[in-house]
Amino acid sequence: MKIILKSGDAMELAENSTAMQAAQSISEGLARNAVCAKVNGALVDLSHELKEGDSLEIVTLKDKEGLQVYRHTCAHVLAQALKTVYPTCKLSIGPVIENGFYYDIDFVTPITQADLAKVETEMQKIIKSNLPIERFTLPKAEAIELMKGYSENYKVELIEELPEGETISFYKQGAFTDLCRGPHLPSTGKIKAFKLTSIAGAYWRGDEHNKMLTRIYGTAFAKKDEMEAYFTMLEEAKKRDHTKLGKELKLFAIMNEGKGLPFFLPNGMVLKNALIDYWREIHTREGYVEVQTPIMLNRTLWETSGHWFHYRDNMYTTKVDEEDFAIKPMNCPGGILVYKNEPHSYKDLPIRMGELGLVHRHEKSGQLHGLFRVRCFTQDDAHIFMTREQIKDEIKGVVRLINEVYTLFGFKYHVELSTRPENSMGSDEDWEVATESLRNALNDLGLDYVVNEGDGAFYGPKIDFHLEDSIGRTWQCGTIQLDFQLPQRFEMEYVGEDGAKHRPIMVHRVAFGSIERFIGILIEHFAGKFPVWLSPVQVKILPITDRQLDYANELCKKMKEAGVRVQVDDRSEKIGYKIREAQMEKVPYMLVVGEKEAEAGQVAVRRRDKGDMGAVSADEFIAAVCKDIADKTVF
């Protein structure tokens, strides 16, 4: 029979050959590294039998799917080890998550973090045994009986909810059998590096009315050195924790009186306003106009936009004059009303409309985290209203703008194109045109991207930008969403060149995303050592004795007049102490002034990460720091 490889080449194989046999025919090296296979676009085990005309791709640990399968197999090894060490425990679910996996378990007697060591020891035994992992299927009724025989009531519940007539798959390794759709590694011995990391509580199926189970987290990597690098990164991340640094640097606070509602302190407002000033500068340059829309609008608006039906659980509502209102979770409907406030012709388009809008979304208390997951935040929103002919150029313009922003902060990034989700509005034709418009813009710009099937917004496909920070973590921030639906729902119009009325196309886009979250990312990216232009205090003047205070204050006044954020440390402390304090505050420049500097009109410059830079004239330093600020230098 013939199968089609990823390259497009045809390959001859014996009838009913498996994916593993195909890998062996290609090369022994590929067969050794194979984790699973992708047949006709679906992930399958290496034991899967191929048919005439199948398309085949062998998946290794270099592939994202391969690492997921590897980690999911490790979750099954964890489950087997738990059933060995704690025979009375009951299994629920064990999915893969970013950087690892977890398994939710119902224990008769609760376990602690200290108990994970003996579980890991048992896992090592299972891996060393190199148990073959075999898939088998059963009809629904038999599958239920099998799990009842093992007293796995959570598995029984999952199977009972599956459609009648469905065939249920299981995986067996040694004496252990688990319900799973797969695929898995061919044997347990393929796992080379793993670690159980933590324990937490988790309600069965995420419902607080259900029983609290024990969630055991773990991670697994292809090589031990990769796992060591991962844990090194986690240690570095702890040092950079924005909630810790935010408190130390007096940037923001989360109060019990408003959980998930951040308070920005004076230093934090300087940082936030510097970002906003930059945002306004580049958007003015790019032809955007700025608007502000109300924080609360009536139910009719949200019904028209679709949010009342598609996003209701995340919205805060109230009544005004006996009428239902919602606090806005998004800015777009308000922007549409601004557009509709006056008639437009094709000559007005594109209209690029920006808004720094405060939005509120109901997040569960357990999901709140510093500035990363909050209940209110400022979106650096913009909406572009345009003709169909303008789509590609406008999308390309937004991509270039977002690239400029991320490059300024030293971020690398990758791009995802997210397509139509199940819960969506609009016709197949509109979705196809919208998706292809985004795809064509990315292709024209020569950007590499991956397709994220089914992850678009309910009103349109989108391009997402995932930043990589200084320690290798990724964050989803910028997004560009192409929307054919809201212009139709709101009956938006413009008069075309032909004198007839036409429907504009709408783009929703953000660069920072949430300004609050972006600040959290910047805190961790720079470890609190912000570039000069962002630093709440850019220069600290440190007089050695009180006799230099007059000179220090004169310098301070001169720098403030030049637009520098500067402070004088006039405390009667030793100079070494003052320097250490300024270092702890992560001030970019420290100017030590003693009798010699005061007489010569100089400053002894210390830079945050480079120490003593020598003495220069005060005017020379002021010119240099002003250039750093103007150039938005990152060091």
Tokens of 300: 């009719």
Q: Are residues 32 and 79 in the same domain?
A: no
Q: Are residues 507 and 544 in the same domain?
A: no
pLDDT of residue 404: 95
- Among the listed residues 72, 240, 283, 462, the single catalytic one is 462
pLDDT of residue 108: 94
pLDDT of residue 309: 87
pLDDT of residue 431: 87
Which residue, among 512, 486, 510, 237, has the nearest Cα to 385 in the 3D structure? 486
Contact at 8 Å (CB) between 334 and 354? no
Residue 508 catalytic? yes
Q: Which residues of 465-496 are buried (b: 16+ CB within 10 A; e: fewer)?
A: bbbebebebebebbbbbbbbbbbbbbebbbee
Residue 610 catalytic? no
- Among the listed residues 184, 360, 361, 473, the single catalytic one is 361
Phi then psi for 25, rounded to 5 degrees?
-70, -30
Contact at 8 Å (CB) between 177 and 171? yes
CA–CA distances in Å: residue 425 to residues 336, 461, 481, 491, 577: 18, 11, 14, 15, 62
In a domain, 122, yes or no: yes
Please state whether the peptide bond connecting residue 266 to the residue before it is cis, i.e. omega within 30 degrees of 0: no
Which residue has tokens 């009913």?
Answer: 16
pLDDT of residue 208: 86
Tokens of 380: 């650096």
- Among the listed residues 155, 508, 517, 608, the single catalytic one is 508
**Residue 606 structural domain:** 539-631
Q: Are residues 141 and 267 in the same domain?
A: no
- Among the listed residues 36, 74, 180, 332, the single catalytic one is 332
Question: How far is it, in rounded angstroms, from Cα 97 to Cα 359?
Answer: 29
Instruction: Give 468's Cβ-side CA count (13 Å radius).
Output: 7
In a domain, 532, yes or no: no
Question: How far is it, in rounded angstroms, from Cα 443 to Cα 399?
Answer: 12
Where is the domain boundary, 468, 494, 525? 525
Q: CATH number of the domain at 333, please.
A: 3.30.930.10
Positive or negative CA dihedral for 7, 13, 19, 20?
A: negative
Q: Are residues 494 and 553 in the same domain?
A: no
Which residue has tokens 């030049």?
Answer: 562
| Residues in the chain where the model's pLDDT stays below 70 | none
Residue 332 catalytic? yes
pLDDT of residue 434: 87
Which residue, among 499, 522, 525, has the nearest Cα to 512 in the 3D structure? 522
Which residue, among 54, 41, 59, has the nearest Cα to 13 in the 3D structure? 54
Q: Are residues 55 and 71 in the same domain?
A: no
Q: Are residues 287 and 371 in the same domain?
A: yes
CA–CA distances in Å: residue 91 to residues 143, 151, 524, 558, 573: 15, 10, 37, 69, 62
Question: How far is it, in rounded angstroms, from Cα 591 to Cα 615?
Answer: 9
Contact at 8 Å (CB) between 436 and 379? no
Residue 307 catalytic? no
Q: Are residues 261 and 388 in the same domain?
A: yes
Element (H, E) at 442: helix 428-445
Residue 525 catalytic? no
79: exposed, middle or buried (Cβ count in 10 Å: 0-12, 13-18, 19+) = buried
Question: How far is it, in rounded angstroms, from Cα 612 to Cα 176?
Answer: 64
How many domains are there within the chain?
Answer: 4
266 Cβ contact list (under 8 Å, min separation 6) = 250, 536
In a domain, 533, yes or no: no
pLDDT of residue 7: 86
Q: Are residues 517 and 589 in the same domain?
A: no
CA–CA distances in Å: residue 560 to residues 266, 272, 302, 324, 547: 17, 19, 47, 50, 22
Tokens of 617: 């004239």
Does the predicted model carry a pTM greater than 0.85?
no
- Among the listed residues 178, 380, 381, 430, the single catalytic one is 381
Where is the domain boundary, 525, 550, 585? 525
pLDDT in tens, 118-172: 999 999 999 999 999 999 999 999 999 999 999 999 999 999 999 988 899 999 9
Question: How far is it, in rounded angstroms, from Cα 10 to Cα 98?
Answer: 35
Tokens of 188: 């347990």
29 Cβ contact list (under 8 Å, min separation 6) = none
pLDDT of residue 178: 97
Q: Are residues 439 and 305 in the same domain?
A: yes
In a domain, 531, yes or no: no
- Among the listed residues 240, 242, 383, 565, the single catalytic one is 383
Residue 379 catalytic? yes
**How many residues comprise the chain?**
635
Tokens of 629: 């600020």
pLDDT of residue 207: 87
Q: Are residues 44 and 95 in the same domain?
A: no
Q: Are residues 251 and 203 in the same domain?
A: no
In a domain, 530, yes or no: no
In a domain, 53, yes or no: yes
Q: Are residues 54 and 75 in the same domain?
A: no
- Among the listed residues 173, 379, 390, 485, the single catalytic one is 379
Tokens of 25: 């025919």
pLDDT of residue 512: 95
Q: CATH number of the domain at 605, please.
A: 3.40.50.800
Where is the domain boundary, 60, 78, 97? 60
Which residue, among 417, 416, 414, 396, has the nearest Cα to 406 in the 3D structure? 414
CA–CA distances in Å: residue 15 to residues 51, 345, 347: 7, 65, 65
Q: CATH number of the domain at 123, please.
A: 3.30.980.10
Question: How far is it, in rounded angstroms, from Cα 83 to Cα 69?
Answer: 21
pLDDT of residue 80: 98
In a domain, 102, yes or no: yes
In a domain, 574, yes or no: yes
First and final CA of the chain: distance in angstroms? 60
